[in-house]
Structure 1
C-alpha cells in the first residue's frame, strides 16, 4: 500500500505542513491547536475541491428517486429474465442521463485522502518520517495533544504506548469516545435531515427504505470503526461530517427536492415575500379560506347560572306558550258578523269550507242544528 499511496502521502503531508506553518504564527508549533487546525484545514480544502462532485451527487440522487417507479416496473416485468432486466435498466439510465455511481462520488473521491491521512498519523505514532515530514516535524506532531489526547493515539492503544506519547489512557478514552459519539450523531442527523425534509413524500419507492436503513447503519459503522482510528483521523472525519451537514442544510433550504416538505416550506417563504406568482384561482380559494377562518368565532364558555338562564328563556319562547302580541290582537267586527250570517252546512263547516280548528280567537263557532 505504501508503494501505491506513496505520492498521496507526500501530498497530504505537504498540505498539513503548510497549514501548520501558517498556524504556528499564532499558536505554539508543538501544540494541538496548530496540528489539529491543520487537519481541519485539510478537510476544508478537500471538500471545497469536491463541491462539483457533490452537486453531481445531488442531481444523481434526485434522478434515482424519480426513476424508482420505472425501475420497479422493469423489475416486475422482467423478473424471470435477469439479462433483459439489466439491459432495460441500462437503457433507462442512458435515456435519462443518470449514473447510479454519481451518488457515491464524493465518498469515493475523498477515500484516498482519508487512507493517506490514516497512514501518515500511524507513521507519526511509530516515530517514522513520512512524505515531506522529517523527524523534527514528526516529533512535534507526536507531542501535540487535543484535549489531553495525542493526535496519533487510538482508543485501542495500550497504556504503555499512550504513556510513550506523554498522555494517560483515561484521557485518550474520554476524548475518543466523545468524538466518536459526535461523529455518529452528526452522520445520523445528516441522513435524517435528508429523509424527513428533502424526499418526495408523494412517491413511495424502495429507495426511501434504503435511505432509512442507511440512516441507522452509518452511525453504527462509525462507532465500530472509530475505536481503531487515531484522534487525528477522528478530527478529520468529524470535520467532514459537520461540513456535509452544513452543506446539505444549505442545499435543502435553497434548492429542495420538488414534493418534499422543504420544498413546500420554501414555496411558503417565497409566497410570503411576494416572490412567487400564484395561480389566480388558487389565490382566490386560499383568500376565501383565510377570510372564513378570520370571521369564525369560537363559542364563549358560559357559567352554570348563564346556561340555566338561557334554558329558562328558551322554555318561555316555546310554541305552546301564547305570545302577548296575539292576545292583544283586535277582533275584526265585520269579519265576525260575516261569519255569523253565512249559511251553515252539515258537519259544522261554513260555506267557504273553513275548518273549525282554523278559526281565529274571538270568533264564535257555528252552532249545530238541534235535532227534534
Structure 2
C-alpha cells in the first residue's frame, strides 16, 4: 500500500504554514542561526493535527471514565475467578463488550498520529542540499532548496544525533553543534513523553484491569526508554514535532482533567460500613453533582433522673440496722 497520500498531505500542511509565516515577514534567515519560518511550520503542523484529533481526544477521556466506572465490577471478577486467568479474561471482555468500553481507547490518539510522524520523518529525510534542483511531493524547487538549508541554531532540521561525518558535511553543518542540539532535544523529548503519561495516571489512578495496567506501564516507562535508542535516528525537525506535540498534550490534558475531573472512587471499609455515600458524578465525564442531604438520625430521648428530694418510684427496702448489745 502506497503512503504517498500521507507524504503529500504532510507536505501541503507544512508548505501552507511556511507560506503563511513568509507572508507576515517571518523569513529572516540569520536570527540565532535559525530559519524560523520552517521551525514554526513544523510547530503549527502539530497544532493542525491536534485540532483535527480533538474529538478523538475527548472520546479517549470518555473511555477512560467508562473504564474507571467499571473498576468495582472488574475487581469482583478478579476475586471470583482468582487463579483462572483464561476465564477472567473472557468474563472481562464480555463486560467491556456489554458496557461498550474499550481498554485500548487510551492509545488511539497516539496511533492516529503515527502516520503524521512517519510522513514528516520520510519528508525530512529527503531534504539535502546535495539534491538542489529537485522537488518533493508538490514542493517547488525554491521551497525544496529553502527547506534543505533550514537550520535550528545552525543545526540542519534534517540532521540527526546519529548522522555520520559525511552526512553532516553534505548538509554543510558542524558535527559537534548538530549532536549537541539533537541530544538536548532527545532528552527533552524523553522527559515530556514521560510527563504526559504520568500526568494522566496521577489524575485517573492505576487501572485494576491487568491488561490496561500493562498498557499504562508501557506508556509510562516503555516508550520513554525506547526513545533513548530511536531518538538518535530522528531528524531534528521530527524531534521538534514530538516535543511540541508533548507540550500540547500536557496543556490539553490539564485543561480537560480540570474541566472534567476523574470519577470519585466508591468508599470502602469503615466508611462503607458506617453508611457514608460517595459523591455522585454526572455521566462519564465526571461532572460533580451535589450529594443528597443525609437523613437525620432518630435517637431515643434520654429519661431525666428524679429531682433532688423527690420520692423514688420503686424504693428499695432497707434492712434495719443490727442492734448492738
Could you say which TM-score interval applies, normalised by the shorter chain? 0.7 to 0.9
How far apart, CA to CA, are the structure 1 residues paired with 2:209 and 2:93? 19
Deviations 1:94-145 (Å, cap 9, x if unpaired)? Answer: 2211123322211111111110111000111373532111332221111111
Aligned position for 2:42: 39
Pairwise mapping of residues 183-198 of structure 1 onto structure 2 (< 5 A)?
183-198=189-204
How far apart, CA to CA, are the structure 1 residues paired with 2:75 and 2:136? 50
SS, match of residue 161 in structure 2: coil
TM-score by length of 1: 0.64
Aligned position for 2:269: none
How far apart, CA to CA, are the structure 2 residues paired with 1:74 and 1:218? 30
Deviations 1:3-33 (Å, cap 9, x if unpaired)? Answer: 6111111111111111111111312276520
1:258 maps to 2:263: yes
TM-score by length of 2: 0.72
Deviations 1:246-304 (Å, cap 9, x if unpaired)? Answer: 111111211111227xxxxxx9xxxxxxx98566669xxxxxxxxxxxxxxxxxxxxxx
Aligned position for 1:177: 183
**Count of matched residue pairs:** 266
Q: Structure 1: which 5+ runs fail to align?
A: 261-266, 268-274, 283-372
1:225 maps to 2:230: yes
| Higher-RCO chain (CA-CA 8 Å, sequence separation at least 6) | 2
1:54 maps to 2:60: no
Pairwise mapping of residues 64-213 of structure 1 onto structure 2 (< 5 A)?
64-71=67-74, 73-74=76-77, 77=81, 80=84, 82=86, 85=88, 87-125=90-128, 127=131, 129-199=135-205, 206=210, 207-208=212-213, 211-212=216-217
Q: Structure 2: which 5+ runs fail to align?
A: 266-278, 280-287, 296-325
Aligned position for 2:245: 240
Over the residues paired in the alignment, what is the CA RMSD in angstroms? 3.0
- Contact 2:17–2:41 (CA under 8 A) maintained in structure 1: yes
Deviates more, 1:33-42 or 1:155-164: 155-164
Q: Cα–Cα, structure 1 residues 208 and 65, in superposed 2: closer, same or farther, change >3 Å?
A: farther
How far apart, CA to CA, are the structure 1 residues paired with 2:108 and 2:9? 21
